Structure 1
Amino acid sequence: MPEPTTPSASRHVFVYGTLRRGGVRDITRLHPAPHYVGMASVAGVLYDLGPYPGVVLGGPARVTGEVYAITAELERQLDAIEEVWPQQTGEYRKQAVRVQLGQPQALSGAVELDCLVYEINPARAAGQPVITGGDWLGHLRQRP
């Protein structure tokens, strides 16, 4: 029996870097197309790894991103992009975490949702610059 593909039956993913709308790997250009849920934030520290960012989850800081409802087929594509499937490189790992929908400044009364997040291996982020403010696209606009 095939898996359901409606957004209500899908999993959710939180994207914070190149997969964000307008990013070089814009998730909205993948097929089957994801369903945009909204802006969100997650507890973590965002690192600049050159052409892409990595988040280390946890702590008091917030990282800005977007939430999408995705099908199992699209999840497999994301796993391949982040190199956690079919063979893991050890750079990223897929985690299920609770994110808060809405902008990071409006956390009181925020709606929470369980999402997949691709977290960078903390050893890979060690010594890399922290992106103050936790917003990859905002950071790119400020780069020289």
Structure 2
Amino acid sequence: MPEGGIRHVFVYGTLRKGGRNDINRLAPAPKYLGMGEVKGSLYHLDWYPGLALGGEQAVTVVGEVYEVTRELEAVLDDIEGLVDGAHSEYFKRDLEVAVAGRPVPCFLYEINPSRIAGKEPIGHGDWIRFHSS
């Protein structure tokens, strides 16, 4: 883990710049590191998306990578509604995300598979593009 409890988050939906929950409006302020990509499928759940990592229909999902404090991480956990157990809407996952060709250890919020059962992915991996069309 980076010094001082600093972590990195990959945001792909409403937490992206210009999104409904834009991470840049939260405190303490995050530090933008760059764009990143993961393989998975995006699902339109309502006014927000859910990401399922990997899978047979995986596409390149784009997002932004930020350096965040543990304090901001707790705020993000609240926004994403994390709860203990199998009923949480999202689960926090750790993985490496390439940012400008360099692997950065990140966490992200993956949707609970029960929330996307029977739903079709949006077909590409850019929530901002999907949501603004």
Q: Structure 2-normalised TM-score?
A: 0.88
The SS at the match of 1:94 is: strand
Whether the 8 Å CA contact 2:42–2:122 is kept in 1: the answer is: yes
Give the aligned residue type for 2:65.
V
Q: Which residue of 2 aligns with 1:134?
A: 125
Q: How many residues align?
A: 128
**Of 94, 98, 106, the match for 1:96:** 94
Q: Which residue of 1 aligns with 2:102?
A: 111
Confirm whether residue 66 of structure 1 aligns to residue 64 of structure 2: yes
Q: Which residue of 2 aligns with 1:20?
A: 16
Unaligned runs of 5+ in 2: none
> How far apart are the structure 2 equivalents of 1:128 and 1:26?
26
Q: Which residue of 1 aligns with 2:73?
A: 75
- State the identity as a percent: 50
Name the stretch that deviates more: 91-100 or 126-135: 126-135
Give the aligned residue type for 2:64.
E
Unaligned runs of 5+ in 1: 103-109
Instruction: For residues 16-63 of structure 1, give each alpha carbon's deviation from its aligned partner in whole angstroms, at most 9, with x where no partner exists.
Output: 000000000000000000000001111111111121000001144211
Q: Which residue of 1 aligns with 2:28?
A: 32
Give the aligned residue type for 2:132.
R
Question: RMSD of the TM alignment (CA)?
Answer: 1.7
Q: Which residue of 1 aligns with 2:53?
A: 57
Q: Structure 1-normalised TM-score?
A: 0.82
**How far is 1:128 from its partner?**
2.2
Bigger-Rg structure (1/2):
1
